[in-house]
Amino acid sequence: MKLQGEKGEGIMGHILRMKPVFKEMIWGGTKLKDIYGYDIPSDHTGECWAISAHKNGDCAIADGEYKGQTLSWLFENHRELFGNIEGDQFPLLVKIIDAKNDLSVQVHPDDAYAKEHEDSLGKTECWFVLQADEGTKMVMGHHAKTKDEFVKAIENDDYDNLLNSFKIKAGDFFYIPSGTLHAICSGSLIYEAQQSSDITYRVYDYHRKDADGNERQLHVQQSIDVTNVPANVDQNKEFPQTALENGTKTRYVDSEFFKVDRYELTGKNVIKNDEPFMMVSITEGTGTLEGNEVKKGDHFVICSDEEEVTFDGTMEVLSLIHI
């Protein structure tokens, strides 16, 4: 049975249009409104939770038979739409991050540590750089060779020498396994695909203060516990490309948690959906999906009973795929 949408109202069938959730952050800005046209809550909006069933940002279905229901509710009550995968929560999450200022230097735990200490999934993630100001940097990894070196640098507030930072540009892709010290820096607009977890351990936040004059909470001991030492900062820079009927597909990662593909489309293309489900984000352009108009900033879940979908138009599409 297909989802039934009203004529002219969004997407028909088991293709779920998401209503994003927005998060105000001390480091956020206005690019989510300026670039995507979102109705953001303030001029320091840092995160768009574009496809999420997490309790801290549970997206509603925007239209169709299940309009107004949350993604978590649909996953709980209609698991058949998601390939009947196992697990007690929806496993993945997509964000768009606007870093007007630097994010904290942070790290995420793996599944085992997160389960024991936080009753949560761990967080392995990846980033695709949608936009970057000239000279924008990123922090990933560190230079400590031993845990003692790592702890000493933290105790001495010696982050200039500890952190591994480098310049980034639009189109760059980075895979960030749990245990990787990292920070998105000022001037970045990032597509983030991740495990569905909101566990972040901040180790350093530049001693900045909020409107009340308070520094944000740090999690130094947890950060020491979970950070990989020495760091593995090697990144794959060669990504396989596949020619499509009208465009190309680039496979950025195929990990134990998810796959990420980027489609650069220049016309009509039929894309197979042979995994439990796909989480699709239109990051540039306009066109149609199964004959319904879509545009930059739209996000969808393509359910398991949609064996293939037809895109038509000039678009860039990022697809997060559950394995």
CA 71 distance to own-chain centroid? 16
Contact (CB, 8 A) for 124 and 179? no
Bridge partners, residue 266, by sequence: 314
Of 17, 202, 251, 262, catalytic: 202
Nearest to 195 by CA among 255, 247, 148, 151: 255
Instruction: Write down the residue that tokens 């900062």 correspond to.
Output: 233
Q: Is 202 labeled as catalytic in the residue annotation?
A: yes
* Distances, alpha carbon 161 to alpha carbons 136, 141, 142, 149, 165, in Å: 19, 12, 8, 11, 10
Contact (CB, 8 A) for 28 and 34? no
Instruction: Give, as one character, the DSSP assignment of residue 119.
Output: S
Rounded to 10 degrees, the C-alpha dihedral 141/146/147/152 comes to: -90
* Catalytic center residues: 202
